[in-house]
């Protein structure tokens, strides 16, 4: 059998995701209408013989348990549990601490998944690839633009054998534009042997050198994978399918688009939209009513209210309780629960937090990704009001602000 571990981190993580991580932990932020990690559960639930998913992190139980409850209902074939680290133990420390729970039932293989990646989830392909070698583990690797590579773990792959010959976490100098994608498949017993070796090396280092920091963090990347690469026991499965890491809040926009695009082909029932007949019931003459203009793909929560004259999409996710008024236009954006978008307002390339109010004729916008440029988006924290006709362009706005003047390229505290 196979198990999966989702590394979800804790409250000190996700700082670059502010202000969106102020109200909800990053792994539970909704893209494509569902929490980020819900999408990885969809993929894992399709793996043959995989029945258990363990979330490991250091968030309070109270923060994670409601998600576990919902997910257990949505994925009845999976047993989903949360294992809490008493403090941040690092990407391998939590695995080590909970090794008995993870190894219970003798799973032969373990998927280890980061909680902030969105991709095509080639899990079956990875399993096939993994069974074709005798290494400890398979890392999914992906090519990124050269200038971006040093923000990731960089890997040099032997083109003949697919062995990861050299692995350096966030190197200072350019090593490779093929990087660790945050998804691994390990042989269970060999993984824990390697982690134990790494632990021993670390303990030995700190007993040799009294100056060394004796924290309890054990890092999967530096402490386990780098040495593994040097012994030839780490392999890399290179994927060419799209991949996004959700680090900055801005990356939620391409992640949202990727998820909506994948459900368009793999799971259309998730791309809900109100049917024109339901919308028309509020009108006297409903035989002629067509409903709002929707450019697919979009996720529109079934209890959102969208005026018939609005135009929405592509790549828009709209949460529960949202109201979109007469003549409004929304494109390439995420609108979170209970936000109200008034008549003729326009929201483009933006993330609008919960309970915001966008006034009539207001505009909230970022800019499309253009050749080599950073994506610019507008982000409104929870409970922000943008007053009538105000134009907010490429700004980050902290929660509960009332914006009565237009602004451009600013952080509004």
Of 30-38, 66-74, 180-188, 260-268, which part binds ligand GDD (CB under 6 A)? Answer: 180-188
Do 36 and 258 meet the contact criterion of CB atoms below 8 Å apart?
no
| Residue closer to ligand GTP (CB basis): 122 or 327 | 327
Task: Looking at 317-394, list the stretches that DSSP marks H as alpha helix, in order from N- to C-terminal side.
Answer: none
Decide: is 9 part of the binding site for ligand GDD (CB under 6 A). yes
Residues 358-377, one symbol each (x = binds ligand GTP by CB under 6 A, - = not), give ---x-x--------------
d(C-alpha 334, C-alpha 364), whole Å: 12
Nearest approach in angstroms of CB 346 to ligand GTP is 3
Q: Write down the least CB distance from residue 13 to ligand GDD, Å.
A: 5
Nearest to 394 by CA among 361, 357, 364, 360: 364
**Interface mask (CB under 6 A) for ligand GTP, residues 296-315, using x and -?**
---------------x----
The C-alpha atoms of residue 323 and residue 341 are separated, in whole angstroms, by 6
Kindly identify the residues of this chain, within the stretch 313-332, that bind ligand GTP according to CB under 6 A: 327-329, 331
Which of 68-76, 215-223, 240-248, 341-349 is the region at the interface with ligand GTP (rule: CB under 6 A)? 341-349
Q: Residue 89 or residue 294: which is nearer to ligand GDD going by CB?
A: 89
Q: Tell whether residue 177 is a contact of ligand GDD (CB under 6 A).
A: no
The overall longest dimension of the chain from CA atoms, in Å, is 83
- The DSSP result for 244-275, as a single string, is EE--SGGGHHHHHHHHHHHHHHH-GGGS----
- Of residues 25, 182, 313, 366, which one binds ligand GDD by CB under 6 A? 182
In sequence order, the β-bridge partners of residue 110 are: 3, 186
Using CB under 6 A as the binding rule, whether residue 29 contacts ligand GDD is answered as: no
For residues 188 and 376, which CB has a smaller minimum distance to ligand GTP in the complex? 376
**Among ligand GTP, ligand GDD, none, what does residue 9 contact (CB within 5–8 Å per kind)?**
ligand GDD
User: Does 35 sit near ligand GDD (CB under 6 A)?
Assistant: no
CA–CA gap between residue 32 and residue 319 (Å, rounded)? 9
Residue 161 backbone phi and psi in degrees, to 5: -100, -10
Q: Which chain residues interact with ligand GTP by CB under 6 A? A: 311, 327-329, 331, 344, 346, 348, 361, 363
């Amino acid at each position: 059998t196979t198990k999966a571990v989702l590394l979800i981190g804790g409250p000190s993580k996700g700082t670059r995701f502010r202000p969106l991580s102020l109200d909800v932990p990053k792994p539970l932020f909704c893209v494509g209408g569902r929490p980020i990690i819900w999408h990885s559960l969809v993929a894992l639930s399709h793996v043959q013989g995989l029945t258990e998913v363990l979330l490991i992190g250091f968030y309070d139980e109270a923060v994670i348990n409601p998600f576990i409850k919902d997910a257990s209902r949505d994925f009845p074939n999976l047993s989903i549990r949360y294992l809490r680290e008493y403090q941040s133990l690092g990407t391998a420390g939590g695995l080590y601490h909970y090794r008995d729970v993870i190894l219970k039932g003798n799973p032969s293989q373990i998927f280890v998944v980061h909680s902030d990646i969105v991709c095509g989830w080639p899990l079956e392909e990875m399993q096939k690839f993994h069974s074709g070698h005798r290494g400890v583990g398979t890392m999914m690797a992906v090519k990124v633009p050269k200038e971006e590579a040093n923000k990731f773990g960089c890997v040099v792959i032997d083109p003949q054998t697919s062995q990861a010959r050299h692995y350096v976490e966030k190197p200072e100098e350019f090593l490779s534009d093929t990087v660790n994608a945050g998804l691994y498949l390990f042989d269970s017993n060999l993984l824990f042997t390697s982690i134990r070796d790494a632990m021993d090396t670390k303990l030995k280092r700190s007993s040799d050198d009294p100056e060394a920091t004796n924290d309890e963090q054990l890092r999967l990347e530096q402490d386990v994978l780098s040495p593994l690469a040097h012994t030839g026991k780490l392999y890399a499965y290179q994927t060419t399918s799209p991949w996004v890491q959700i680090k900055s809040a801005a990356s939620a926009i391409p992640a949202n688009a990727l998820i909506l695009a994948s459900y368009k082909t793999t799971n259309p029932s998730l791309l809900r939209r109100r049917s024109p007949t339901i919308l028309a019931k509020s009108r006297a003459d409903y035989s002629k009513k067509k409903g709002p203009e929707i450019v697919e793909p979009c996720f529109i929560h079934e209890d959102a209210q969208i005026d018939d004259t609005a135009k929405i999409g592509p790549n828009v996710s709209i949460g529960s309780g949202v109201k979109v008024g007469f003549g409004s236009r929304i494109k390439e954006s995420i609108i979170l629960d209970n936000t109200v978008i008034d008549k003729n307002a326009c929201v483009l390339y933006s993330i609008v937090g919960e309970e915001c109010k966008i006034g009539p004729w207001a505009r909230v916008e970022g800019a499309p990704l253009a050749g080599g440029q950073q994506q610019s988006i507008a982000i409104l924290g929870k409970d922000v009001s943008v007053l009538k006709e105000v134009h907010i362009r490429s700004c980050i706005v902290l929660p509960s602000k009332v914006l009565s003047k237009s602004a451009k390229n600013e952080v509004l505290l």
